[in-house]
């Protein structure tokens, strides 16, 4: 394609000039907001009638969908923030990931705040969610560490995102303050990475207390590190999904080359987790369970084949040089993380505890609606803060379909 034709087809997208009041309602956003509103109704009902009336929780299974999904799953969905910030500031050539990182940290902030709100409705007395921070707590509890790490990480995310607002301002003192913040921002990022590694691993520690009562297919003596490594892979995979959505919806260039460089790392972390888990089963003499005629066996194989083997193959092959390959690999990685945490939180523990639990319709509606709300909030920030998208251009059909070597 000639330079002249390339210039004519690569026009700046109009959405990059949107001001804060220009967020647009679309049918898709309206549907998401409808689900979000339904979740809000469930939350209000829960406040007045209690957990028992809107959930399927019982004394044998006090942790249900709102804890396992809305906390244990939602937190690694926000792992984009610390993973991409590390790539941006502490790897060679990190500057090429600047705008990917901007979208990563705003998504992380939304997910972490969403998790906090969801958790407030899940605990018995919602306003006591601040107790670990204000009044202290059990210093030996993983939950105490998670509470403090998440609280401090939200502060880090605030400083990482405030520059996006400052860049939209024209006041000289704001520009000077933003310039000063950029000088110390790598320090905040480093603290954020440390806090993230701590609370992501501690989410796995929560389940290690059950020990060998957990189903052997998911029991691991270092489950905390399994959770940490899988969250790093999820941060990379989720970013591929976000970039696919953002580029398609806002008609901007898909960062294929930058994401293709990250794909082998995502596959590498998944491979490490897979080998470590299977290796432990072999060392523990439990490989025979992989072929036992049980429902648990089918769930394990589905989790491994769909959420580990498939994305490893895709992200290690030439498919990683295409939009479809990257988005598919990233989505499967995310689904694998979700399956792992749901299986640990439900499949492995319900058998160990001898408990019975089925999520209520209200529980499912709350989780789905709250997740829909995070997507709408993301679009609001992207459209009202053009610096999140950056000064980029539409991609041509040739660029979209190109396959690298």
Q: Which domains does the chain have, with CATH numbers?
A: 57-357 (1.20.1630.10)
Q: Region 145-158: what's the mean pLDDT?
A: 93
Residue 22: predicted pLDDT = 66
User: For tokens 């040089």, what's the residue?
Assistant: 321
Kindly tell me if the per-residue pLDDT of 30 is higher than 90: yes
Q: Given this model, what pLDDT does residue 352 score? A: 74
pLDDT surpassing 60 at residue 400? no
User: In terms of pLDDT, which residue wins out, 388 or 118?
Assistant: 118
pLDDT at 239: 97
Residues 6+ apart with CB under 8 A from 57: 51, 63, 64, 357
- Asked if 65 and 359 count as a contact pair (C-beta separation under 8 A), the reply is yes
| Better-predicted residue by pLDDT, 52 or 260 | 260
Q: How far apart are CA 56 and CA 355, in angstroms?
A: 12
Token couple for 144 = 């105490």
pLDDT at 372 over 60: yes
Cα separation values, 307 from 103, 193, 288, 302, Å: 24, 25, 21, 8
* Rounded distance between C-alpha atoms, residue 224 and residue 186, angstroms: 27
Q: Is the pLDDT of residue 249 over 60?
A: yes
Q: How far apart are CA 110 and CA 201, in angstroms?
A: 21
pLDDT band at 355 (very low <50, low <70, confident <90, very high): confident
Q: Could you tell me the pTM of the whole model?
A: 0.88
* pLDDT classification of 33: cutoffs 50, 70, 90: very high
* Mean pLDDT over the full length of the chain: 87
What average pLDDT does this structure show over 219-246?
96
In this prediction, residue 152 carries a pLDDT of 94
Q: Which residue has the higher pLDDT, 54 or 400?
A: 54
Give per-residue pLDDT as tens, 120-139: 999 888 888 888 888 877 78
Please give the average per-residue pLDDT across 92-114, as a whole number.
94
Q: Residue 403: what pLDDT?
A: 41
Question: Is 396 in a helix, a strand, or coil?
Answer: coil
**157-176 residues labelled b (16+ CB within 10 A) or e (exposed):** bebbbebbebeeeeeeeeee
Rounded CA-CA distance 279/287 in Å is 9
- DSSP string covering 8-42: HH-PBPGGGG--GGG----HHHHHHHHHHHHHHHH
Q: Is the dihedral of CA 331, 333, 334, 338 positive or negative?
A: positive
Question: Does the pLDDT value for residue 193 go beyond 50?
Answer: yes
The percentage of residues in the chain with a pLDDT greater than 70, rounded to a whole number, is: 90
| pLDDT bracket for residue 21 (50, 70, 90) | low
Residue 14: pLDDT above 50? no
Averaged pLDDT, 112-120: 94
């Amino acid at each position: 394609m000639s330079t002249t034709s390339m210039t004519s087809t690569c026009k700046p997208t109009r959405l990059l000039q949107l001001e804060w009041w220009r967020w647009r309602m679309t049918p898709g956003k309206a549907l998401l907001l409808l689900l979000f509103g339904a979740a809000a109704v469930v939350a209000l009902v829960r406040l007045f009638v209690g957990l028992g009336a809107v959930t399927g929780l019982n004394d044998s299974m006090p942790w249900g969908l709102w804890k396992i999904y809305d906390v244990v799953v939602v937190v690694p969905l926000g792992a984009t923030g610390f993973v991409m910030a590390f790539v941006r500031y502490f790897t060679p050539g990190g500057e090429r990931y600047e705008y990917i990182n901007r979208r990563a940290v705003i998504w992380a902030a939304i997910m972490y705040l969403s998790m906090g709100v969801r958790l407030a409705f899940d605990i018995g007395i919602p306003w006591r969610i601040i107790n670990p921070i204000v009044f202290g707590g059990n210093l030996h509890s993983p939950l105490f560490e998670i509470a403090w790490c998440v609280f401090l990480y939200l502060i880090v995310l605030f400083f990482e995102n405030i520059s996006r607002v400052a860049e939209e301002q024209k006041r000289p003192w704001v520009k000077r303050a933003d310039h000063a913040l950029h000088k110390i921002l790598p320090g905040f990022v480093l603290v954020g990475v440390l806090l993230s590694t701590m609370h992501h691993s501690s989410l796995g520690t929560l389940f290690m207390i059950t020990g060998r009562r957990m189903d052997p297919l998911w029991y691991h003596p270092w489950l905390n590190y399994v959770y940490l490594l899988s969250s790093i892979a999820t941060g990379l995979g989720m970013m591929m999904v976000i970039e696919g959505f953002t580029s398609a919806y806002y008609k901007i260039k898909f960062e294929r080359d930058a994401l293709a460089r990250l794909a082998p790392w995502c596959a590498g972390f998944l491979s490490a987790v897979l080998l470590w888990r299977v290796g432990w089963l072999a060392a523990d003499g439990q490989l025979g369970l992989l072929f036992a005629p049980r429902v648990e066996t089918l769930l394990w194989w589905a989790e491994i084949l769909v959420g580990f083997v498939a994305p490893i193959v895709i992200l290690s092959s030439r498919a990683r040089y295409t939009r479809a390959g990257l988005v598919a690999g990233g989505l499967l990685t995310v689904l694998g993380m979700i399956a792992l945490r749901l299986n640990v939180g439900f499949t492995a523990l319900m058998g160990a505890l001898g408990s019975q639990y089925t999520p209520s319709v209200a529980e499912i509606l709350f989780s789905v609606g709250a997740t829909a709300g995070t997507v709408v909030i993301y679009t609001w920030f992207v459209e009202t803060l053009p610096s999140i998208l950056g000064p980029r251009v539409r991609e041509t059909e040739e660029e979209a379909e190109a396959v690298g070597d």
